[in-house]
Amino acid sequence: MTATIRVLVADDHPIVRGGLIALLGTLDGVEVVAEAADGVQAVREAMLTRPDIAILDLRMPRMDGVQAALRIAADAPETAVLVLTMFDEDELVSDALAAGARGYLLKGAEPEEIERAVRSVAAGAAILSPEVARQVLGRASRPREAAPFPGLTPREQEVLGLIAAGVSNHEIASRLNIAGKTVGNHVSAIFVKLGVATRAEAIVVARDRGHGS
C-alpha cells in the first residue's frame, strides 16, 4: 500500500488555511497533521510532527515563509517545502527556491494543480506553477548584467539600494516584509563586505556605483 502523505499547512489567513485543509482532506492518501498561522508556529509544528510536506505562505507574521523554509530545511530536512502564495515577484521566487522550496504555486491554482504538486513534491520532484516557471526560464535566458557589488547577495543588494536612498532600517523591514533583526543582519554583512564602518560611508560607496540618488 502507498504510504500516506503527511502535510503541514501554514497560512495566516484562517479562511485560506481552512479551505486548503478541506481540499487536502478530500484527497486519497493525504493527511493534514498540523496547521500554523505564522512562520514560528510552522517551524515548531514541523519539528513536532515531522510531516512529509510543509505548505507555506510567504507573507506571514513573526517569521516569513522564506525564513521558515530555511529553518525547516536545517532542522527537519526530511520535510519538503511547497510554497503556496499570492506573490510571484522575482525576488520572492528566488529567495524561496534558494531556501530549499521544492515547489512554488500561486493561490489561484486549481485544486487539481495543488493535488499534482503535493504528490509530485512528496515523490521527490520539483514543481513550479506555469507563471513562475515562465519567470524562471525568462530570467535564465536574459543576458546577465554585472552587479555593482558582486560580493553581495541579491537581498543585500536590495537592502543597500534602500540604504542609499535614505530609507531607515524600520522602513526597509516594512517594505521587504522581513523582521527588523533580519535587516540589521543584512546591514552588518553589507558593512563588512564593503569595508565600511558607518551607514554614511555605505551610502557614499553605494551612490558612487549607481545605487540611490
Q: Identify whether residues 38 and 61 lie together within a single domain.
A: yes
Is residue 147 situated within a structural domain? no
Most confident of 29-33, 71-75, 109-113, 174-178: 29-33
Domain that holds residue 85: 5-141
Alpha carbon distance, N-terminus to C-terminus of the chain: 63
Q: What is the pLDDT of residues 70-113, one digit of tens each?
A: 999 988 999 999 999 887 766 778 788 888 889 899 988 899 99
Instruction: Indicate the angle between helix axes 111-122 and 14-25, nearest 10 degrees.
Output: 70
Q: Do 112 and 38 have their domain in common?
A: yes
pTM: 0.65
Q: In this structure, which amino acid lies at residue 16?
A: V
pLDDT band at 204 (very low <50, low <70, confident <90, very high): confident
CATH number where 171 lies: 1.10.10.10
Residues 112 and 13 in one domain: yes
Q: Are residues 45 and 114 in the same domain?
A: yes
Residue 192 lies in a domain: yes
Between CA 68 and CA 96 the distance in angstroms is 10
Domain edge (last residue) among 87, 109, 141 = 141
pLDDT level of residue 54 (50, 70, 90 thresholds):
very high
